[in-house]
A and B are shown apart, each in its own frame.
Chain A
Amino acid sequence: MSFINYSSREINCKIVYYGPGLCGKTTNLQYIYNKTNPEAKGKMISLATETERTLFFDFLPLSLGEIRGFKTRFHLYTVPGQVFYDASRKLILKGVDGVVFVADSQIERMEANLESMENLRTNLAEQGYDLDKIPFVIQYNKRDLPNAAGVDELKRLLNPRAVPDFEASATVGNGVFDTLKAIAKLVLTELKKGG
């Protein structure tokens, strides 16, 4: 849950990037890190294996500016996508304010996408959250690959509720900031409602 500090006039929110292994969650954060002004970001932390697969999480603190005198800070986290790291994924969802689901557009990863989406719903429910009620956006990543499935097909399978969704190629940055802005807006709108 967000943390409002009247003393330091800050509001802190937690956003988690979720999705199957190798879908590009860490790549999203790396792109954001590389393209953000030094004064608006903290250090990016990656707890990864020797082969650069996420072991526990990546973490990137970002400052977005002020709203009514309150500094807005977003803490971006990724989960480890590989199936057997489920215990770690559950831990990272604790206290989440908004979720980005990064789908891998490649046709052969469709089953992995669906499995990860179902896993997200289950793990959120264990923490007391309902995926249909929290700020949530979907990113169809790897649109630049020749074996990418059609967007209509991806929408049909992964986005039946028609939440905000974005096409992306995270390695070159397409769609990365659109996705981030959308989830940040949803989180702030939810705060406004008193969520």
Chain B
Amino acid sequence: MALLEVDDVVAGYGAGPDILNGVTVTIEEGSSYCIVGPNGAGKSTLLRAIAGFLKPRAGEVRLDGVSMNGSRPDQMLAAGVCFVPQDASLFPGMSVKENLVMGGYLIEDRSLLQERLENVYEAFPVLAERKSQHAGTLSGGEQQMVTLGRALMIEPRMVMIDEPSLGLAPMIADQIFEKITGFKDLGITVVLVEQNAVKGLETVDWGFVLDLGSLEFDGPADGILADPRIRDLYLGKAMTPREGA
């Protein structure tokens, strides 16, 4: 059975228009995915709808075949679906360590929390070095490392990461993508939204092409990268490799 099914979901913000016009995607456990598409296609909205930040107006999000409609973000997280939004979502007044511990907010067992913290320091040595520094004083790349490390604290079944390379220098972005590949190696299902479609698709197994709030195409990531039609129709300039990339 699929880990997560998004079935004909319609969603939008407040009293605004529909951003998602009936999206259907299937996420298999242990695979990795990248959602690409032009600005305003509804990529971030799809992640927010899955994470429980946005209630679907129609359709259904199912986890292990069970409808999750109406679940709050904390309930989705408890069910194993972790969301990393694109705006640096740290606690600026807390240290790196406190931020990571907050990532384990749902963990009641203190020794387990400590064990997870050690695991994160091992996977992200830079965070161990900076553990007592205030998160608000870190560079953009380091902040992104903290958000990824924090997501690892809960050892989710699935992590959804929105625009991990936004605003980062290519070299730093490469380090971030390396960490994301690390999630996959731990058996965590990864769903990326990435403006740099080439980089994003190179990192994952499977691609979704979203446009105007519905799924236009999906297939193996290398297939999408090789298909000139999709490049011209949906990805435009985003497909042109950046200098040095």
The judgment on whether A and B are partners is: no
